[in-house]
Amino acid sequence: MRIVHVANFYGPSSGGIKTTLHELGRGYLKYGHEFIYIVPGPQYIKEQTPFGLKISLPSFTLPGSGGYQVIRSNKQLLNLLEFLNPDRIEVSDRFTLLKVGRWAKKQKIASLVFSHETLNGLIQKFAPMIPSSIRTRFVNWHNAKLAATFDVVIATTDFAAAEFVRIKAKNLRKVALGVDLVGFNPGNRNFKLRRELLKDSHFLLVHCGRMSPEKEPQRSVQAIAELVNRGIDARLVIIGGGPLWKKLRKQSENLPIEMVGYVASREKVASYLAAADITLAPGPLETFCLSALESLASGTPVVASRSSAVGEILNINSIKPAGAVAADTGVAFADEIVKLLKKGNLRKVARYQAEQFSWANTIDAMLEIHQAKQPMITTKRRLKAA
């Protein structure tokens, strides 16, 4: 089976989307399927990767996004899809790739779309002046349109699914994403690195994520400032780049904060996460948050926004949650950090919770949706030069 995945907002420094695409490709290939992923790039480039055939199409960069790219020509994209002749189509963008769903329906090709964002939350964040009644009507209209355009809508958590449950979308499926349980594990805890990062402080906090408005990284800065005011000897390491990086750096002045920027090496990121006492995931709109799950896999508990989906991942309502959730203020985050530090070692709890999320389970669920759960004997088709 030839599965083609189209994704905007994929790039060298993109996190969750890139990881998801790569792991889907790796899993599909393992079952004998063919995987092609089409993403934005500087020009038309075709290259074979360990995750399948990657095709980059000319794109433009969204102003103020910190480097997010979008495929420039839908016509070129649809021409390419016609040439590729896929058996199944996957899409990772609910806003700019609706034409792909419409094209797939016309061609009678089964399609699905990942809803990686909460539209209601995005509007509340970036257009708070819109009355709630109008916002609700617009969100319902857009989500109904999305559900009608694709055969299946994939939500990764109950939080992400809620908007579609509200409109009673019949083609909604919940598929949790996974985590690399080998690459991210407690064995990566390097005490030499930990000492270097602590710089004689007692507690090490890590924030790993994109420095963009919807992620609200300033919450982690506010939290460490509050901890310092309380006389708690903690230090924060911030990993990631984005449009708010300079602003965050200025806010971090005179605080025990180190900003290391974007880290390309997954091994290095894994070592940072494993070295921490607690990681912070303050994004209030997160519908999954792979970095939080990677932290748990590394044996490190997480403090996250109460208004996001991360609480589901932490199993927050259980007897032994793998972290805590807080209101969206620096004081509230500091409160929960202090409580977790007093609880002591939660590394085994964190790792156990991460083990409930494997990419093998994700691939199994996706292949079931594609009606291709069992490995198929396929004839490889060579692609002509487009």
Q: Using CB atoms within 10 A of its CB, is residue 101 exposed (0-12), middle (13-18) or buried (19+)? A: buried
Break the chain down into helix, strand, coil percent, rounded to 5.
Answer: 40, 20, 40
- CATH architecture observed for domain 2-178+358-369: 3-Layer(aba) Sandwich (3.40)
Task: Decide whether 2-178+358-369 matches 186-354 in CATH topology.
Answer: yes
- Characterise 118 by phi-psi region: left (phi > 0), alpha (psi -120 to 50), beta (else): beta
Q: Using CB atoms within 10 A of its CB, is residue 200 exposed (0-12), middle (13-18) or buried (19+)? A: exposed
Q: Which residue in 195, 308, 223, 21 sits closest to 292, CA to CA?
A: 308
What string of pLDDT tens digits covers the 386 residues of the chain? 999 999 988 766 666 788 899 999 999 999 999 999 999 999 999 999 999 999 999 998 877 656 678 899 999 999 999 999 999 999 998 888 999 999 999 999 999 999 888 888 788 877 888 888 898 999 999 999 999 999 999 999 999 999 999 999 999 999 999 999 999 999 999 999 999 999 999 999 999 998 989 899 999 999 999 999 999 999 999 999 888 999 999 999 999 999 999 898 999 999 999 999 999 999 999 999 999 999 999 999 999 999 999 999 999 999 999 999 999 999 999 999 999 999 988 999 999 999 999 999 999 999 999 998 655 444 344 444 44
Distance between CA atoms of residues 320 and 335, nearest Å: 18
User: Is the whole model's pTM more than 0.85, yes or no?
Assistant: yes
Domain extents in the chain: 2-178+358-369, 186-354
Q: At residue 299, what are phi and psi to the nearest 5 degrees?
A: 90, 15
Distance between CA atoms of residues 35 and 378, nearest Å: 12
Question: Measured between alpha carbons, how far is residue 243 from residues 27, 218, 316, 330 in Å?
Answer: 33, 12, 31, 21
pLDDT at 382: 43
- CATH architecture observed for domain 186-354: 3-Layer(aba) Sandwich (3.40)
pLDDT at 380: 43
pLDDT at 6: 96
